[in-house]
Chains A and B, each alone.
Chain A
């Protein structure tokens, strides 16, 4: 059972455009939702994270939108740049569960065309 479903699998966006990646989760106990960026040969790097008590969080060009009732959250990358080309993962965890292991989506391969 895939607990975090991510779409699309791949995405091509023109430079300066908005990149949008979506995730849906099933476990209502999840209460922490980070997004990670990964370049080839490197480990995932935290971009931005949100908790369900807010519907939106913005940090620079990155925005998370969160819909608790729909159990969905999305990442928006504004003014997308070629340097943003990478694989992006959404994740979720139940921080009150005594452990904090992240459940990841399968990833979105983003290409920003110059």
Chain B
């Protein structure tokens, strides 16, 4: 399909391991967002890219979280030295234009479980 694709859908890691989560946005979409959704809660903003530029990373909870979008399309969210509190669903969204107020289209997320 032509939607936002995230992989893997599920990831189990031991505490202290590093993980990498991938997002393939809708083709041609300029803006890309990462959100974290804890169980039973609303998504919380992590970071925002416009093309390859990371314009806002104010929501990243610690310096263990790192995101990149080197060619302005695919993005990777990396979490180093994972902790149990990192367990959540990580959602990626993309939107067509760089200006605000454009609809954000979400993927189905990666469910991360830290043992």
The answer to whether A100 and B95 have CB atoms under 8 Å apart is yes
Q: Can you list, as one digit per residue, whether each of B84-110 has a CB less than 8 Å from chain A (1) or not (0)?
A: 000000010101000111111111110
Task: Please report the C-alpha to C-alpha distance between residue A43 and residue B103 in the assembled complex, in whole angstroms.
Answer: 14
A-B contact count (CB 8 A): 73
Of B12-20, B37-45, B61-69, B75-83, which stretch is located at the interface?
A: B37-45
Task: Please report the C-alpha to C-alpha distance between residue A91 and residue B44 in the assembled complex, in whole angstroms.
Answer: 10
The answer to whether B55 and A43 have CB atoms under 8 Å apart is no
Q: Given the known A-B contacts A89-B42, A89-B43, are A100 and B106 also in contact in the complex, defined by CB atoms under 8 Å?
A: no
B73 at the A/B interface (Cβ < 8 Å)?
Answer: no
The answer to whether A100 and B31 have CB atoms under 8 Å apart is yes
Task: Please report the C-alpha to C-alpha distance between residue A49 and residue B106 in the assembled complex, in whole angstroms.
Answer: 15
- Which of chain A's residues have a CB closer than 8 A to the CB of B41? 106-107
A54 at the A/B interface (Cβ < 8 Å)?
Answer: no
The answer to whether B101 and A51 have CB atoms under 8 Å apart is yes
The answer to whether B101 and A102 have CB atoms under 8 Å apart is no
Q: What are 29 sample pairs from A and B whose C-beta atoms fall under 8 A apart?
A: A6-B42, A32-B100, A42-B108, A43-B4, A43-B93, A43-B106, A43-B107, A43-B109, A44-B106, A46-B104, A49-B103, A91-B42, A94-B100, A95-B101, A97-B100, A98-B55, A99-B48, A99-B55, A99-B58, A100-B48, A100-B101, A100-B104, A101-B59, A102-B35, A102-B43, A102-B45, A105-B42, A106-B42, A107-B40
Spell out B's residues near A (CB within 8 Å).
4, 31, 33, 35, 40-45, 47-48, 55-56, 58-59, 91, 93, 95, 99-109
A-B pairs, top 7 by smallest CB distance, nearest first, are A95-B100, A104-B42, A43-B106, A101-B45, A99-B56, A95-B101, A32-B101
